[in-house]
């Protein structure tokens, strides 16, 4: 067991820090309106372009697809250093760089890789994800959006939901049902849907935070070329799942480091407001801080497992369950420290709006696999307990 960086890792970190110190002061200010998605898109894609030009885009992608081919440990250093330096987050480019792009890298044809991957890496194309449906949430494979073959096109009808950044995306990675007559996992196909296709209606959904981070998408006779199919017809479930096999344990690193900073911010606020004299606040923050440090250690374990075995096993589920539980208590302490200052958004020190974060954290145990589904994964895959259904 070693935690100290190798000389290559240390050199990677040094080079990155130097680049960040030189580049970050030249960035434009981030958009102020939390619901101005065009401005967010421009900002996030501008950052992606800088990463691309400096050779940091697609940090974990193989070099043959235009990525950096960094090791999981280097990716962890990248996420840690960019967070620490206050660099922008991946933002709108989340689906492209972390899901659709890697999927096309592995499952796409050479022509598809050539067509789609450079635009993701350069920050030209934003991608969104059309997986969930109103009737297909945790039970994703029960999705109902249909695609019927008509010559060299599919004609798609149905409804998608929770589609982040749909209003500003160029492409959508779309799961559709191409064979309703077989078992539900067996009749699904993975398509690339250009977002300027006729028949797509995007209706933003206002979240309980008060912004419209994601949308519903209604699809009426949307015609998608068969050439846009990634993988075989009816093999889409496997294609959609393939990226989970590359889970490197880095999915929530920025979140985790942000929470550590929130602890520091709250301690500073509590010390100046007198709340630090309250043993209850001190004890709660001590335990939360210890847990976040433990989760950081666990992240290093996951990343090391990924470097050895190619993936983290159920480590991603374990991290997520541990983290959201701590994060919820942290949000509660934040509200106690702010007291009546928390009656409006804007209670903050540094970057994060603590009130907004308190509300946002409710999504952590819902998005990307609910806590209940994650517990089933741990109980069934790791402990070997039988399924209920």
316: which 2 tokens? 């991603």
Q: How far is the CB of 303 from other proteins (least distance, A)?
A: 7
Q: How far is the CB of 271 from other proteins (least distance, A)?
A: 9
* 8 A C-beta contact, residue 108 and residue 116: yes
Strand partners, 248: none
Give whichever of 44 and 83 is closer to other proteins, judged by the CB atom.
83
Query: DSSP labels for 311-372?
Result: S-TTHHHHHHHHHHHHHHHHHHHHHHHHGGGGGSTT-BSSS-BHHHHHHHGGGGGTTTS-HH
Q: How far apart are CA 342 and CA 338, in angstroms?
A: 5
26: which 2 tokens? 């030249």
Give whichever of 342 and 379 is closer to other proteins, judged by the CB atom.
379
185: which 2 tokens? 């996992």
Interface with other proteins (CB under 8 A)? 1-6, 9-10, 13, 73, 76-77, 80, 260, 263-264, 267, 282-283, 285-287, 289-291, 293-298, 300-301, 303-305, 307-308, 315, 318-319, 321-322, 372, 374-376, 378-380, 382-388
Give the dihedral sign, CA 304/308/312/315: negative
Give whichever of 1 and 208 is closer to other proteins, judged by the CB atom.
1
Q: How many CB atoms lie within 10 A of CB 329?
A: 15
Q: How far is the CB of 47 from other proteins (least distance, A)?
A: 23
Q: How many CB atoms lie within 10 A of CB 266?
A: 25
Q: Is residue 247 annotated as part of the catalytic site, yes or no?
A: yes
* 8 A C-beta contact, residue 60 and residue 76: no
Give whichever of 344 and 383 is closer to other proteins, judged by the CB atom.
383
Q: How far is the CB of 331 from other proteins (least distance, A)?
A: 17
What are the b/e assignments for 111-149, b being 16+ CB within 10 Å?
A: ebbeebbbbbbbbebbbbbbbbbeebbeebbebebbbee
Give whichever of 182 and 382 is closer to other proteins, judged by the CB atom.
382
Q: How many CB atoms lie within 10 A of CB 108?
A: 23
Q: How far is the CB of 255 from other proteins (least distance, A)?
A: 15
Q: Return the closest-CA partner of residue 51 out of 6, 109, 97, 3.
A: 97
Give whichever of 178 and 299 is closer to other proteins, judged by the CB atom.
299
Q: How far is the CB of 254 from other proteins (least distance, A)?
A: 14
Q: Which of 247, 325, 352, 356 is catalytic?
A: 247
Give whichever of 120 and 333 is closer to other proteins, judged by the CB atom.
333
Residue bearing tokens 């064979």: 179
Q: How far is the CB of 18 from other proteins (least distance, A)?
A: 16
Coil, helix or strand for 171? Answer: strand
Q: How far is the CB of 85 from other proteins (least distance, A)?
A: 13
Tell me 154's DSSP state: E
Coil, helix or strand for 161? Answer: strand
Q: How many CB atoms lie within 10 A of CB 316?
A: 23
Give whichever of 308 and 340 is closer to other proteins, judged by the CB atom.
308
* 8 A C-beta contact, residue 159 and residue 134: yes
Q: How far apart are CA 239 and CA 231, in angstroms?
A: 7
Q: Return the closest-CA partner of residue 175 out of 219, 143, 127.
A: 143
Which residues are marked as active site? 247
């Amino acid at each position: 067991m070693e935690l100290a960086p190798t000389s290559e890792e240390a050199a990677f970190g040094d080079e990155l820090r130097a680049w960040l110190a030189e580049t970050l002061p030249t960035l434009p200010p981030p958009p102020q309106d939390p619901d101005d998605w065009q401005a967010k898109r421009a900002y996030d894609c501008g950052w992606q372009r800088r990463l691309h030009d400096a050779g940091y885009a697609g940090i974990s992608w193989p070099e043959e697809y235009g990525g950096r081919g960094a090791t999981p440990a280097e990716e962890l250093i990248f996420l840690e250093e960019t967070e620490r330096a206050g660099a922008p987050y991946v933002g709108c480019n989340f689906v492209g760089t972390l899901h659709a792009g890697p999927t096309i890298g592995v499952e796409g044809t050479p022509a598809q890789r050539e067509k789609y991957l450079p635009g993701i890496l350069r920050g030209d194309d934003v991608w969104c994800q059309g997986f969930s449906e109103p009737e297909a949430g945790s039970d994703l494979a029960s999705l109902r959006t249909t695609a019927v073959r008509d010559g060299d096109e599919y004609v798609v009808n149905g409804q998608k939901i929770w589609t982040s950044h749909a209003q500003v995306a160029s492409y959508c990675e779309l799961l559709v049902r191409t064979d309703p007559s077989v078992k539900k996992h067996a009749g699904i196909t993975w398509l690339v849907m250009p977002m300027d296709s006729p028949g797509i209606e995007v209706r933003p959904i206002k979240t309980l935070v008060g912004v419209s981070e994601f949308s519903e998408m209604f699809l009426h006779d949307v015609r998608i070329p068969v050439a846009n199919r990634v993988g075989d017809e009816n093999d889409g479930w496997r294609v959609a799942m393939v990226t989970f096999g590359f889970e490197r344990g880095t999915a929530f690193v920025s979140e985790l480091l942000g929470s550590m900073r929130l602890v520091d911010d709250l301690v500073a606020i509590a010390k100046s407001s007198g709340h630090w004299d309250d043993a209850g606040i001190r004890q709660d923050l001590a335990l939360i801080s210890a847990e976040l440090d433990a989760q950081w250690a666990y992240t290093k374990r996951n990343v090391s497992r990924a470097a050895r075995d190619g993936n983290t096993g159920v480590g991603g589920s374990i991290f997520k369950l541990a983290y959201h539980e701590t994060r919820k208590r942290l949000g509660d302490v934040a509200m106690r420290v702010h007291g009546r200052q928390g009656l409006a958004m804007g209670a903050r020190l540094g970057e994060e709006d603590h009130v907004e974060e308190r509300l946002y954290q409710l999504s952590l145990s819902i998005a990307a696999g609910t806590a209940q589904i994650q517990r089933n994964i741990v109980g069934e895959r790791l402990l070997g307990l039988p399924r209920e259904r």
